[in-house]
């Protein structure tokens, strides 16, 4: 196979690689044990695409040649007793053959050249890549929790608003939910925390809902509800939310108005506005 198929990661004589059956889960009825068939085999012959010659070639794991000249195919089994894994060591010609075959197989999920029409059965366990991925996952979780714990109270309320929650609940409850979110979905949490648009929309909407600002549709004008002072006249054809969002990011003065909305949106009598 190696002569025909060119380069692939070499398995050193002192090395070892592990292939793992897909879909391994813990048996809920027997904690600590895998839920999988007692044995699962991988077909010992395959037809793959040779990226070197740009042709399809037949490969097989040949164990021996019978007296009639026909090949005897080897057997490849993932067993429950071995934890659904096959460990291949670099010593020995047979081990190298099994390694080559499994590496090139269409049944290996992480084979970039595999035939996607074939249902994969196993994957190569890349311990280094897995370790890096696990560290990255932990780093993301740590950073998300750190950010969540360091949020100011007003930002906790704003992020609660942005998710459609009740900002007026007890702060301990709100913080608990935010931290649960960060732990459960660190990437989603960090993306939301860095999303100024969604947070601004939540504040603006709440400022209207709680009667801090009014919107006169006939004049397309946003005013302070208490004083009647004009905040901004929104261009015709532009929705209330789009107009206020654009205004809030226009300059230092409009940013100051937005910060005042943040300060004031901590309660109030609610009314409804459709974000057109």
pTM above 0.85, yes or no: no
DSSP for 176-245 reads: HHHHHHHHH-HHHHHHHHT-HHHHHHHHHHHHHHTTSEEEETTTTEEEETTT--EEEEPPTTS-HHHHHH
pLDDT tens, residue order, the chain (276 aa) = 444 444 566 777 878 889 999 999 888 888 878 888 889 999 999 999 888 788 899 999 998 888 888 889 999 999 998 899 999 888 888 888 999 999 999 999 999 889 999 999 999 987 666 677 778 888 999 999 999 999 999 899 999 999 989 998 999 999 999 999 999 999 999 999 999 899 999 999 999 999 999 999 999 999 999 999 999 999 989 999 999 999 999 999 999 999 999 999 875 444 434 333
**Partners of residue 224 on adjacent β-strands:** 213
pLDDT of residue 54: 84
Strand 122-125 to 16-21 pairing: antiparallel
Nearest to 77 by CA among 102, 40, 47, 109: 40
Burial annotation 107-116 (CB, 10 A radius, 16+ → b, else e): bbeebeebee
Half-sphere exposure of 3 (CA within 13 A, CB side): 0
Residue with tokens 């409850």: 173
Longest dimension (CA), the chain: 101
Q: CB neighbours of 6 closer than 8 A, spacing ≥ 6?
A: 50, 51, 52
Question: According to the 3-state scheme, what is the secondary structure of 61-93?
Answer: CEEEECCCCCEEECCCEEEHHHCCEEEEECCCH
Nearest to 39 by CA among 63, 4, 75: 75
Residues constituting the chain: 276
DSSP state of 151: -
**Partners of residue 124 on adjacent β-strands:** 19
pLDDT of residue 129: 65
């Amino acid at each position: 196979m190696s002569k025909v198929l060119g380069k692939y990661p070499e398995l050193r004589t002192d090395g070892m690689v592990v292939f793992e059956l897909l879909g391994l889960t813990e048996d809920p009825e027997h904690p600590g044990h895998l839920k999988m068939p007692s044995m699962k085999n991988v077909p010992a012959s395959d037809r793959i695409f040779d990226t070197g010659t740009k042709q399809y070639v037949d490969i097989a794991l040949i164990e021996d040649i019978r007296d009639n000249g026909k090949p005897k195919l080897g057997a490849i089994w993932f067993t429950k007793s071995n934890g659904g894994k096959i460990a291949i060591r670099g010593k020995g010609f047979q081990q190298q053959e099994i390694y080559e075959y499994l590496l090139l197989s269409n049944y290996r999920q992480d084979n970039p050249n595999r035939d996607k029409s074939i249902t994969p059965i196993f994957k190569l366990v890349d311990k280094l890549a897995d370790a890096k991925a696990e560290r990255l996952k932990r780093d993301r979780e740590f950073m998300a929790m750190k950010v969540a714990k360091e949020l100011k109270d007003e930002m906790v309320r704003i992020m609660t608003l942005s998710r459609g929650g009740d900002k007026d609940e007890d702060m301990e409850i709100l913080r608990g939910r935010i931290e649960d979110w960060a732990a459960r979905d660190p990437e989603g949490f960090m993306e939301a925390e860095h999303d100024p648009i969604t947070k601004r929309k939540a504040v603006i909407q709440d400022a209207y809902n709680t009667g801090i600002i009014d919107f006169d549709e006939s004049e397309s004008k946003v005013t302070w509800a208490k004083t009647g002072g004009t905040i901004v006249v929104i261009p015709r054809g532009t929705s209330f939310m789009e107009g206020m969002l654009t205004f809030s990011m226009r300059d230092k003065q409009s940013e100051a108005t937005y910060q005042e909305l943040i300060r004031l949106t901590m309660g109030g009598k609610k009314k409804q506005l459709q974000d057109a």
